[in-house]
Amino acid sequence: MAGLEDYNNSIELLRIVISDKGHGFGHECVRLIKEICFKKYMAHRLWLDVKEHNHRAKHVYHKCGFTIEGTIRECIRTDNKYESLIIMSILETEYQDLE
């Protein structure tokens, strides 16, 4: 996580890597991160970026209450192509509504 002391109370979730997929570990990990961010660090907003083609991760984040804000088009160069990032976030009020 980045921005734990951000003036705007906006925390960025940098990366999660779950190698053993399909067991709900990703969902549980995101649930715990949201709890820490909103209860311990009193975040107003938790946000992340996810590669456009990572449908599994986007599904997990959406299921955990994150909303798509937009796309940063072709901002990452991998091999001989460019990839886009999707920005997703959840606000404190949205987190509280899910509890």
Q: Domain extents for the chain? A: 10-98
pLDDT of residue 17: 84
Residue 25 — very low, low, confident or very high, per pLDDT cuts 50/70/90? confident
Residues 48, 12 contacting (CB under 8 angstroms): yes
Closest alpha carbon to 87 in 74, 63, 69, 75? 69
**% of the chain surpassing 90 pLDDT:** 82
- Please tell me the pTM assigned to this model: 0.91
CATH of domain 10-98: 3.40.630.30
Q: How far apart are CA 63 and CA 72, in angstroms?
A: 22
Residue 24 — very low, low, confident or very high, per pLDDT cuts 50/70/90? confident
Q: What is the mean pLDDT of residues 5-15?
A: 94
